[in-house]
Amino acid sequence: MSSERVSLVKQFGFESAHFLPRVPEGHKCRRMHGHSFRVEVEVTGPIDPEFGWLMDYGEISAVVKPVVAELDHRLLNDIPGLENPTSEVIAVWLWERLVPDLPQLSRVSVLETCTTRCDYRGSK
């Protein structure tokens, strides 16, 4: 069973405001506005033959929750590295903070709305 590869996905959420300073004047996203962001974190790897799982979901939470807490109820533009907080920039920002403690990380998705999302799979 250890040669079987699986992916686990766990969702997290945070509430934040942002504006996009680099879009043209008059664009609605240039004005400050808020979102109920959702983040999906995916890890991929082999099933551990002893436990029958890739990893405990609690291990994922222990790494991700403190990082997501840095974004919750904040103006994202005030956070270093998020001065232009597009979904793409947020996804890369999250990846860079998660992957050192979550080496099985295979995808970070940022959902601004229920119909929009950005998937980032690291720089390969």
* Structural domain total, the chain: 1
Per-position DSSP letters for 95-111, written without gaps between them: HHHHTTT-TTEEEEEEE
Count CB neighbours of 110 within 10 A: 24
4, pLDDT greater than 90: no
Q: How much is the pLDDT for 3?
A: 72
Q: What pLDDT, on the 0 to 100 scale, is given for residue 60?
A: 98
Helix (H) or strand (E) holding 91: helix 87-98
User: Is residue 34 classed as helix, strand or coil in its secondary structure?
Assistant: strand
pTM for the structure as a whole: 0.95
**104-116 pLDDT, tens per residue?**
999 999 999 999 9
Beta bridge partners of 39: 12, 110
**Which tens digit of pLDDT belongs to each residue from 37-93?**
999 999 999 999 999 999 999 999 999 999 999 999 999 999 999 999 999 999 999
Q: Which residues participate in catalysis according to the annotation?
A: 29, 73, 112
- CATH number, position 111: 3.30.479.10
